[in-house]
Amino acid sequence: MIPLTGQDMIYYLAIIAAIGLAVYFLLETSRRPKEPETETKELLKCIKCGYTIEKEYSVGDFIGLVKDKCPKCGSPLKIIAIYDVVKKTPEKTLKPPKQYT
């Protein structure tokens, strides 16, 4: 086996650095920011007491539709808005297992 000279080392390092840079730029340009997942919700408001509640959207619902009853006063609830919200991902907690608490 022929031992590597200092110049060989420089050439090899230059080639490795060039390949590394090319891969880095390729990954950097192809990486796209991931769009957050959304879900549709509807906001219901009590006609009488003004109590508001956010619920899952059901197909066919529209703004102004009167549906469900107010959990506070029993009056009808009216849909005042339909909108998309970013889906909440379950947070990773670092809580210790139950047996240690």
Q: Which residues bind other proteins (CB under 8 A)?
A: 2, 5, 7-8, 11, 38, 40-41, 43, 57, 59, 62-64, 81-85
Q: Which residues contact 25 (CB under 8 A, 6 or more apart)?
A: none
Minimum Å distance from CB 92 to other proteins? 24
Backbone angles phi, psi at 34, to 5 degrees: -75, 130
Which C-beta is closer to other proteins: that of 27 or that of 59?
A: 59
Phi, then psi, of 50 in degrees rounded to 5:
80, 10
Shortest Cβ 40–other proteins spacing (Å): 6
Residue 86's DSSP bridge partners are 38
For other proteins, which is the closer residue by CB, 33 or 90? 33
